[in-house]
Amino acid sequence: MPRRSENFKIMDALCKKQALNLMILDSTDDEDDDEMFENFSLSLLCLLNTRRSVHLGIPKSSQWRHNVLRKFDDSRFNEMIRVRPDEFRRILEYIKDSSVFNTNSSGAQLALNLQLKIVLFRLGSSGDGLSIRKVASLFGVDDGGTIQNITKRVFKAILRLKEKFLFWPNENERLEIVTATRKEMPGCIGYIDGSELKLAEATAKNHELFYSRKRQYAIKMQAICDYKLRIRQVTIGYPGSVYDSKFFLNSPLAKHPQRFLSNSQWIAGDSAYPLKQFLLTSFRKNSTDYTMEERES
């Protein structure tokens, strides 16, 4: 890749060349116009790429992560990294042996501890705070693709652990859950609800579909947890404007409940969900508000 001084020379030469081309454009034949604009587009693309590389040489400082982040108490660490220090160490222990961090590439990776902090910080940020350049500057690392590569590696390492932590309870475990919650919620296996994953910006296509009732661009997430608050199933992907009930009716659980629940077993949901034999929901309004006709119906 050219040095910065060479980049400026290239940019200057390209600008002068295109200026000359535009000056003589009126004197060329019409059949040459397409070729002229094609050359201009290619040159402009090269110019933009060269311009971006100029910023990669901006010096970064690691003082914040070395002298500030390390001295945070548990509460402040949790605020910045979105997990407590003991939880961070546990995640680090789980992913440290993943092959994605032991590649044979010539470029040495950043310390795994730092990679995980960067990704967790990004996951807990939104808006301007999510800017790759700002994250890179804060942690004192390169912004020329480094942040993206770090994020991909950490995601791959965590997703490889999915089957270990995210699975539906089998028949024996469901019986244990029923026994443990018999006095509170007889036969209840779990609790379902929907949430939104906020997008940093509107999508390029069909952005109106992703605009949710919370007045933000998002995709929908639906999760089921058990009485110990362990997430047992997650479904993600619908646009933010989709209602929880529609999301649920298109899920595997709604289409094939016999694969997930035995006789008399059910899950609990709020009033946004449809009432089913295997899905019990709360009343849509206070019982004292019902009229006699509604009670009889």
pLDDT tens readout for residues 123-157: 888 665 567 888 888 899 987 789 999 999 999 99
pLDDT of residue 3 exceeding 50, the answer is no
Q: Return the percentage of the chain with pLDDT > 70, whole number.
A: 72
- Own/partner contacts of 32-38, CB < 8 Å, gap of 24 or more, are none
Q: Terminus-to-terminus CA distance in the chain, angstroms?
A: 76
Handedness of CA 205, 159, 261, 189 (dihedral sign): negative
* Closest by CA position to 157, among listed 235, 103, 200: 103
Is residue 158 very low, low, confident or very high in pLDDT (cuts 50, 70, 90)? very high
Burial (CB < 10 A; 0-12, 13-18, 19+), residue 290, is middle
- In this predicted model, what pLDDT tens digit does every residue of 27-54 receive, in sequence order? 445 555 555 555 555 454 444 444 444 4
